[in-house]
Structure 1
């Protein structure tokens, strides 16, 4: 229990010093993690191969995971101490104001917090010295107005002490949770526990930090202004306590978003793996034959009941995508790949994932790729590979300039061909988020380097890019379409980029452009114009790039002309683009 004297003599600087100490611990752990991953592991993966190297990397990764866990938990402890300090300081100010006001009216506040006065009432001449506390009697002599005032001051003092005790109880409970198992392995259960620690701390930190203070629905410029207006402690505490919200803020520096999203990703992956491990054995067989001589295979009732109860397919699909993301996060320096930045992540719905090869805030040339129909978290591995292949091809042309290629799965893509893909609402609903992301990259880009940006769409992803330009302002320098079913506008000059900077690829054997034109094609209402116009049409006005791949899904085949042409656009070397005709 916090007493009157303890609250009055409180030294907030002691809590601030403790929080700063944990900040140093977390910073040291973060620096150690980065050194292990970005220097030691990266060098091993760049220069060595074989079983011995793989074993060494795995042990170093275990060490890196330990440092990451220390960083996250230290951040929560620091935030808890800062929150406790903030609330105790508020209670102390409340107490000091009450005492000052009481003494200004000639009342005396005793060491136990009671308010004392000498009554001037004639009705109590034999005992003029009076005192009261916050829990003092409410039935008093009406002829003694001093008692009414004294009771008011006593109540204010009591309220301040109550606030202090509530803060002490809440944060003591939270800090007691922040304990780790005494071993060298950070397990999935440890990360689930860290996630629970974060949730528990949020319940009590509302007076110090509130989620509602984080911008929502604001422009990237407004987000950046809010972030820059915070103190270093506030930035660290918001990131520790609300990593998903900070990681989703367009306009905030990419390294900040990456740190926040990695915490979310690691905890979420551990939670999903724990759910999978806790499921009872899968019923067998999954498939059974029904229908007699014309039998067909269907999933058994037992398996369906098991899956409906435990959502096994959903969990496995999400983990498949998370494993692909982790594989890219762990591949820095392999085959010369740059660092990875996780700029967005959520397993909800069909999933969200934004993964950058290289830092877009410092890159001279950035490409942002939007995948199309059937894209989801489960299949993100293929989209990540497309952008790593584009990064390699672009890097080879860049003459030492920095390149960043980004996989942007920031929308609910159509999941069913035929049923979903002809619908425009997927593109229309996702387009504002794409515009915000592009604007965010422009906002967070460091000054002093060329920020050339290319938007790349595949299949239905091209429709989203077209919708982004139609609905708002798409602040890209170049646009590349591959296998486009139409982009909702009828001519290249409607796409916000400078004239001559819209590029299109339509490979032999790709049926999507012709199939999609009547659903997503644009129009030109002029002589020889019409409807259902797509980027593959000469009338549209795009630069038609030559392709040497076939079908709808091979535009990113390594060393192909299709990929090399995209890379030439990404680095702004337009003279190296091979066009048809």
Structure 2
């Protein structure tokens, strides 16, 4: 029970000072994590080879994970202390207001919370002191010989309410802060990260000052950016600590903020999913040998039951964990063999639910002079995420080499459910459903860019990804400077001028032997009727579409990122705005 004396003497600012100390610790741990992972381990990999180096890098990565855990837990302590100080301060203000009002009317509030007064009656030689305590029946003025009793009772009840509120706050936060502890060892396990996820939920429940409902939902990226800019530094840190998934999903706020938040979600979800996978019973023997009368092997009863209850969940967890592992591998490889430079990765979007969502940037798009957003096509998902991460990193390497000093960021945007298999790819639903998300993401890049201008922005798509790009332009506004289509089956519109970018800024590549432009045009090309040619299904490869046809020297549907190819170099030149040196077909 918080006493009257404790609440009146409380110094709420001390909680803020303690929270600032934990913030410094969290920030130091974050900086140490980046230093160990991005600088020391990376330089070792770059300069040295051998088993000793590999072992050292493993230990360094583990140390970086430990720092990450300290960063997250310290952020939660900070948020809890800020909330505790704010709520106790509110209770204290209510108490001090009562004391001031009571004293102004000649009442005295004693340390036990009782209200005392003296009724000055000139007819009585000695006027005795009278008192009431809180939570007693209120006596209405006029029903008692002493008209001050009812007023005193009001003050006493208000004192009691303030003390009760402070006690509830103290109890709630004591439980939350009591959870925030770690095992006394140097190993941050999956169990620790799962526990950190529970800690986050506990602190959220305790903290009444910052509600998730105040985070923008279904707002424009510009509105998201304005909300974030309007927050105090303390509130920004506490929102990111308590609601990293919601903060990390906000298009329009700074990329480094989204990256920090989404890395927390990744660490906690990976541990959670791995723990769930470990808990699935081992798969029983699938077949049992036939009998003398029935020589055919049959499925065992145990396996049939296991398959019904666990096989689907196991497959989903394994696919999600593979995708999360691919993202972590990208974090841990800030250089590639043979490359002198390789950009830091930024996780701009992440969710393992369903088929998974991931948006990974190579370099910070908020500060880049040139940014390219890559939209993958059919079969994209967590099961083969490494494939699409690699394509964007390859594009970055070549674009950076021809950028003439300008900074470059390339982004793998898996922000939609891509069709899985050729049969699903005939449907336009995947593109139509994902298109609004692409428009919001591109608008968010423009809103969060730090320079005086939004920078040069290219959206490039492969295969079915180009169909989504076309749908985005058809349904809304795709606010890009250039569009590049690779192996496109069609973009739902019939002319380059329908794709929102300035005239002359749609570029197309069709590699030799790529079957998709021809195979998909009847489903995703624009159907047109011409007197001389009859029915036509217009795609970016058609001359009448009006795209700039770029030369290719590769073959097949997956060849557009072949190293040292003209095909890849032309894409890079568009990304950095070097249009004069793009080689075009027919020239």
Judge same fold: TM > 0.5, yes or no: yes
Which of 549, 556, 565 matches 1:551? Answer: 556
Q: Name the structure 1 match of 2:85.
A: 85
- Structure 1 Cα separation of the partners of residues 14 and 393 of structure 2: 49
Q: Is the 8 A contact 1:33 1:64 kept in 2?
A: yes
- Write out aligned runs for 1:49-68 (5 A): 49-68=49-68
Deviations 1:437-485 (A, max 9, x none): 1111112112157711110111111111111111221111110111212
Cα separation, partners in 2 of 1:472 and 1:525, compared to 1, 3 Å: farther
Deviation at 1:400, TM superposition (A): 2.8
Q: Is the 8 A contact 1:109 1:115 kept in 2?
A: yes
Cα separation, partners in 2 of 1:227 and 1:286, compared to 1, 3 Å: farther
> Do structure 1's residue 307 and structure 2's residue 313 form an aligned pair?
no
> Do structure 1's residue 195 and structure 2's residue 209 form an aligned pair?
no
Q: Residue 415 of structure 1: SS of its match in structure 2?
A: coil
Q: Name the structure 2 match of 1:184.
A: 186
Q: Residue 166 of structure 1: SS of its match in structure 2?
A: helix
Cα separation, partners in 2 of 1:100 and 1:394, compared to 1, 3 Å: same
- Structure 2 Cα separation of the partners of residues 429 and 149 of structure 1: 64
Q: Name the structure 1 match of 2:115.
A: 115
Per mean C-alpha deviation after superposition, the further-off stretch among 330-339 and 76-85 is: 330-339
Q: Name the structure 2 match of 1:540.
A: 545
Per mean C-alpha deviation after superposition, the further-off stretch among 100-109 and 32-41 is: 100-109
Q: Aligned pair count?
A: 576
CA RMSD of aligned residues (A): 2.7
Which of 397, 410, 415 matches 1:410? Answer: 415
> Do structure 1's residue 237 and structure 2's residue 242 form an aligned pair?
no
> Do structure 1's residue 431 and structure 2's residue 432 form an aligned pair?
no
> Do structure 1's residue 499 and structure 2's residue 503 form an aligned pair?
yes
Q: Name the structure 2 match of 1:480.
A: 484
- Structure 2 Cα separation of the partners of residues 246 and 525 of structure 1: 48
Q: Name the structure 2 match of 1:350.
A: 355
- Write out aligned runs for 1:271-282 (5 A): 271-282=272-283
Q: Residue 458 of structure 2: SS of its match in structure 1?
A: strand
Per mean C-alpha deviation after superposition, the further-off stretch among 465-474 and 541-550 is: 541-550
Cα separation, partners in 2 of 1:92 and 1:524, compared to 1, 3 Å: farther
Deviation at 1:293, TM superposition (A): 11
- Write out aligned runs for 1:78-477 (5 A): 78-119=78-119, 129-138=129-138, 142-143=143-144, 144-205=146-207, 207-285=208-286, 300-307=303-310, 311-334=313-336, 335=339, 336-418=341-423, 420-447=424-451, 451-477=455-481
Cα separation, partners in 2 of 1:14 and 1:406, compared to 1, 3 Å: same
Deviation at 1:126, TM superposition (A): 9.9
- Structure 2 Cα separation of the partners of residues 173 and 350 of structure 1: 37
Deviations 1:310-362 (A, max 9, x none): 81111111001111111101001233321111111000121100001111111
Q: Is the 8 A contact 2:373 2:412 kept in 1?
A: yes
Q: Is the 8 A contact 1:455 1:480 kept in 2?
A: yes
- Structure 1 Cα separation of the partners of residues 62 and 393 of structure 2: 25
Deviations 1:357-376 (A, max 9, x none): 11111112111011112221
- Specify every segment of 5 or more residues in structure 1 that has no aligned partner in the other structure, as ranges: none
- Structure 2 Cα separation of the partners of residues 58 and 260 of structure 1: 24
Q: Is the 8 A contact 1:365 1:450 kept in 2?
A: no
- Structure 2 Cα separation of the partners of residues 342 and 31 of structure 1: 17
Deviations 1:486-513 (A, max 9, x none): 1111100011111111111222332322
Q: Residue 426 of structure 2: SS of its match in structure 1?
A: coil
Cα separation, partners in 2 of 1:448 and 1:298, compared to 1, 3 Å: farther
Deviation at 1:383, TM superposition (A): 0.6
Q: Is the 8 A contact 2:289 2:295 kept in 1?
A: no
TM-score (norm 2): 0.92
Deviations 1:275-299 (A, max 9, x none): 112222122338999xx99999999
Cα separation, partners in 2 of 1:102 and 1:523, compared to 1, 3 Å: farther
TM-score (norm 1): 0.93
- Structure 1 Cα separation of the partners of residues 569 and 298 of structure 2: 46
Per mean C-alpha deviation after superposition, the further-off stretch among 230-239 and 555-564 is: 555-564
Q: Name the structure 2 match of 1:15.
A: 15
- Structure 2 Cα separation of the partners of residues 53 and 464 of structure 1: 44
- Structure 1 Cα separation of the partners of residues 361 and 490 of structure 2: 26
- Specify every segment of 5 or more residues in structure 2 that has no aligned partner in the other structure, as ranges: none
Per mean C-alpha deviation after superposition, the further-off stretch among 314-323 and 409-418 is: 409-418
Q: Is the 8 A contact 2:138 2:154 kept in 1?
A: no
- Structure 2 Cα separation of the partners of residues 296 and 438 of structure 1: 54
Q: Residue 408 of structure 1: SS of its match in structure 2?
A: strand
Q: Is the 8 A contact 2:138 2:150 kept in 1?
A: no
Deviation at 1:570, TM superposition (A): 1.1
Q: Name the structure 2 match of 1:4.
A: 4
- Structure 2 Cα separation of the partners of residues 234 and 138 of structure 1: 41
Q: Is the 8 A contact 2:139 2:153 kept in 1?
A: no
Deviations 1:226-247 (A, max 9, x none): 1111111111111111111111
